């Protein structure tokens, strides 16, 4: 038996795509054209097939450079998020109508308000992505229940988890992509997982129809954006059928969770909170989830 130039677990890139995305080899299968590898994106939510001859193993320095770029993008966005929160808190606390005492708090008198950001139910078809998303929610101080559910099983389980956790924001994601040799972007059947996400959104809307009562963020790389919005999602991927970053759903949920219920978010404001932007994620005007409480408990 001829030894393969790559093996399961190797980090590779596709020569035909200019080695633009790094993947981990997860398995192999044989087609009429020969043996192919099944690839899982390291930073983007994509599963792809590629001929072994199209794969280039990445050396440690190339992998390290990619990870550094990934960390920098994530860190830059996290920094902007926390800077924005400080400004938003200052504006909220200085609003006279937001102060039950009817006066503006003085600088030497810290406000007695407390924040109740929106809660998240995140259903993901990929264990590794789910773990890094869970860690990021913790960093962002967001209460998130993260549940590992394969994409094909999400339509049968989403209602049960909504009833169990009663979230303000539902995130449905995993892996997706246009199937190999399929060219019709309008046919939801030509996608790896889009039909499952669409069915899951419909099931969620049967339970909670209002788009401000339950905010739904759905889709993964190259998902059928139009079908997801039509099914009832507030935000979905991918308008330009591009790859979305693994953290995009989390950063989207953060903006929604920490925006006041008095504010209707402009679409551009929300999408500035993502790494891939409007090519990767789109949506509709949606009200925020953040509520202020008063007074803060001494205990």
The model's pLDDT over 126-169, given as tens digits with 9 standing for 90+, comes to 898 899 899 999 999 999 999 999 999 999 999 999 999 999 99
> Which are the contacts of 74, defined by CB distance < 8 A and separation ≥ 6?
247, 275
Q: What is the pLDDT of residue 236?
A: 95
Count CB-CB contacts under 10 A for residue 106. 8
Q: Is the pLDDT of residue 106 over 60?
A: no
Nearest residue to 254 (alpha-carbon basis) of 129, 174, 169, 164: 169
Distance of CA 118 to the CA centre of its chain: 16
Distance from C-alpha of 35 to C-alpha of 160, rounded to nearest angstrom: 40
pLDDT band at 96 (very low <50, low <70, confident <90, very high): very low
Distance from C-alpha of 255 to C-alpha of 227, rounded to nearest angstrom: 23
pLDDT band at 184 (very low <50, low <70, confident <90, very high): confident
Q: Specify the residue for token string 């953040």.
A: 290
Q: Output the 3-class SS for the chain.
A: CCCCCCCCCCEEEEHHHCCCCCEEEEEEEEECCEEEEEEEECCECEEEEEEHHHEEECCHHHHHHHHHHHHHHHHHHHHHHHHHHHHHHHHHHHCHHHCCCCCCCCCCCCCCCEEECCCEEEEECCHHHHHHHHHHHHHCCCCEEEEECCHHHHHHHHHHHHHHHCCCEEEEECCECECCCCCCCCCHHHECCHHHHHHHHHHHHHHCCCCCCCEEEECCCCCCHHHHHHHCCCEECCCCCCCCECCHHHHHHHHHHCCECCCEECHHHHHCCCCCHHHCCEECCEECCEEEECCCCCC
Distance from C-alpha of 209 to C-alpha of 149, rounded to nearest angstrom: 23
Give 41's strand partners.
23
Q: What is the pLDDT of residue 84?
A: 76
Mean pLDDT, all residues of the chain:
86
Q: Specify the residue for token string 């509520």.
A: 291
Q: What is the pLDDT of residue 98?
A: 46
Q: What is the pLDDT of residue 92?
A: 59
Q: What is the pLDDT of residue 94?
A: 55
pLDDT band at 93 (very low <50, low <70, confident <90, very high): low
Q: What is the pLDDT of residue 163?
A: 98
Q: Mean pLDDT highest for which of 55-69, 233-247, 261-275?
A: 233-247
Distance from C-alpha of 87 to C-alpha of 57, rounded to nearest angstrom: 45
pLDDT band at 223 (very low <50, low <70, confident <90, very high): very high
């Amino acid at each position: 038996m001829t030894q393969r130039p790559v093996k399961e677990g190797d980090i590779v890139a596709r020569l035909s795509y200019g080695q633009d995305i790094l993947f981990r080899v997860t398995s192999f299968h044989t087609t009429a054209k020969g043996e192919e590898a099944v690839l899982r994106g390291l930073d983007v939510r994509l599963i792809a097939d590629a001929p072994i001859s199209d794969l280039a193993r990445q050396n440690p320095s190339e992998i390290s450079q990619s990870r550094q770029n990934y960390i920098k993008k994530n860190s830059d966005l996290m920094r902007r998020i926390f800077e924005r929160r400080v400004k938003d808190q200052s504006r909220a606390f200085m609003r006279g109508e937001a102060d039950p005492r009817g006066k503006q708090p003085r600088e030497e008198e810290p406000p007695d308000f407390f924040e109740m950001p929106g809660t998240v139910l995140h259903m993901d078809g990929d264990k590794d992505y789910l773990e890094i998303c869970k860690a990021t929610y913790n960093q962002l101080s967001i209460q998130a229940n993260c549940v590992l559910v394969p994409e094909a099983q999400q339509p049968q389980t989403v209602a049960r988890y909504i009833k169990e956790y009663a979230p303000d924001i539902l995130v449905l994601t995993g892996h997706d992509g246009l199937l190999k040799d399929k060219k019709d972007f309008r046919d939801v059947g030509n996608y790896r997982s889009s039909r499952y996400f669409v069915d899951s959104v419909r099931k969620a809307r049967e339970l909670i129809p209002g788009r401000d009562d339950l905010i739904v963020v759905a889709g993964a790389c190259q998902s059928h954006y139009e079908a997801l919005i039509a099914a009832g999602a507030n935000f979905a991927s991918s308008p330009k059928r591009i790859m979305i970053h693994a953290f995009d759903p989390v950063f989207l949920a953060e903006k929604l969770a920490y925006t006041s219920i008095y504010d209707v978010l402009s679409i551009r404001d929300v999408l500035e909170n993502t790494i891939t932007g409007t090519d990767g994620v789109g949506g509709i005007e949606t009200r925020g989830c953040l509520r202020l409480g008063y007074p803060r408990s001494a205990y």
